[in-house]
Structure 1
Amino acid sequence: MRRSDATRTAILAAARERFAADGYDRATIRAIAKDARIDPSMVMRYFGSKEGLFAAATSFDLRLPELGSLAPEEAGRVLVEHFLDLWEGNDALVALLRVGVAGAAGAERIRHTMFEQQVLPVAREVCPDPEQAAARAALAAAQMLGMALARYVLRFPPTVALAREEVVAWLAPTVQRYLTAPHPGGAL
């Protein structure tokens, strides 16, 4: 690994930890640099600003499942399995969720990444009424983010103890219902 790659990696690791611990507003470039054992000017050299550092530290590849071949009745299971694949052991996502519940920068990043890039495209593919896709995606995202908060951030013992298969068995039918079931009151 080149020295510049090692420095960048150290900065990103320190930033994830600091953003997760302190939140976006309280985390400082100086504290992140100290944690990474480098000069603060190096953080600015690599990332340009605190916003640029936050974006890089919370960036990840969504690896969305192939939607074109997805049968509508499989959407809940596929989305929940994908969600678990992304969240298990992903410090960037855990940091993003911690920051997201406490500040505008993290909330906007979660809206963009989790909702607009991940759940909304699936809802648009499988939802019976295209005009309901955004609302249905929001309901599905609320379920999955609630599980992420309970399992990975707050670490409620019962949710942490659930095997992956159990999480899928409990969560997938609810997500599926939000995405494809007839609206209980007619129009949404």
Structure 2
Amino acid sequence: MTRADDVGGVPHRERKGERTRRRILEAARCRFAQVGYERATIRAIAAEAGVDKSSVIQYFGTKQGLFREAVHWHVPIDELTTEDSSRTVENYLRGMLGAWSADPDSPMAVLLRSSMTSEEAAGILRRHITAEVVGPVAARVGAPDARLRAALSSAMMMGIASQRHLLGMPDLAQADLEDILRIIVPVIRELIAPGGGSAAER
């Protein structure tokens, strides 16, 4: 019989299962970051997580299912968007660059690395950015070609993040974040809010 622990009667087995699941996801991100999607194996991920291969399959089904969950991230566009278009762009950039800086093996970083060698990973990246970034940002662009503008701004931000943190391009990697923001925010703002603001701001 499942034993309830002392915290609100939550079954001990469920809490242990959540910890195991989280440990597998962390090991998977690490492994995918090291060798990419194609070369990573469930057996190696299980060994790194300290569990049996059957446990990985039990929680995630397949390597594809594990990869999808390991690299999923949510971009809180609603929370980052303000009435000030410059502040909004700065929020987007700080959020993205901050995530890379805080965790080199963040879901976004792992997915981008894996997409370079796996068409399956590249497809996940395309769908994820389109759904999480391009669509929501385009909905807030008060100008013609809204989706193209959103896609271009996303490409610029991803390019900055990947060259600063993934490729380590010296002029970006060594630059102060405030200097990067000072120069690039007006450029991206003009893409998504031409003329200094969206239709709602003007």
Q: Could you state the TM-score of these two structures normalised by the residue count of structure 1?
A: 0.82
Question: Does residue 134 of structure 2 align to residue 119 of structure 1?
Answer: yes
Unaligned runs of 5+ in 2: 1-11, 196-202
Compared CA separation, residues 150 and 73, structure 1 to 2 (3 A) = closer
Partner of 1:135: 148
CA distance in 1, matches of 2:147, 2:120: 22
CA distance in 2, matches of 1:107, 1:74: 31
Offset of residue 107 of structure 1: 1.8
Moved more, 25-34 or 108-117: 108-117
66, 76, 79: which is aligned to 2:89?
A: 76
Equivalent pair of 2:74/2:132 in contact (CA under 8 Å): no
* 1:69-116 residue CA offsets vs partner (Å, 9 max, x unmatched): 534455433332332344332422211110122222222222233332
Q: CA RMSD in A?
A: 2.3
Offset of residue 128 of structure 1: 0.9
Compared CA separation, residues 169 and 15, structure 1 to 2 (3 A) = same
Partner of 2:53: 40
Offset of residue 127 of structure 1: 3.6
Name the aligned partner's letter for residue 119 of structure 2: A
CA distance in 1, matches of 2:24, 2:45: 7
Compared CA separation, residues 178 and 11, structure 1 to 2 (3 A) = same
CA distance in 1, matches of 2:42, 2:32: 10
Partner of 1:104: 119
* 1:20-66 residue CA offsets vs partner (Å, 9 max, x unmatched): 12211221111111221221111001111111101111122322244
Taking every aligned residue pair, what percent have the same amino acid on both sides? 34
1, 10, 16: which is aligned to 2:29?
A: 16
Structure showing greater Rg = 2
Name the aligned partner's letter for residue 143 of structure 2: P
Larger RCO of the pair (alpha carbons < 8 Å, separation 6+): 1
Question: Does residue 94 of structure 2 align to residue 94 of structure 1?
Answer: no
Name the aligned partner's letter for residue 42 of structure 1: S
CA distance in 2, matches of 1:167, 1:115: 25
CA distance in 1, matches of 2:150, 2:69: 26
Equivalent residues, number: 180
Name the aligned partner's letter for residue 163 of structure 2: A
Moved more, 172-181 or 66-75: 66-75
Compared CA separation, residues 66 and 6, structure 1 to 2 (3 A) = closer
CA distance in 1, matches of 2:135, 2:70: 23
Moved more, 27-36 or 2-11: 2-11
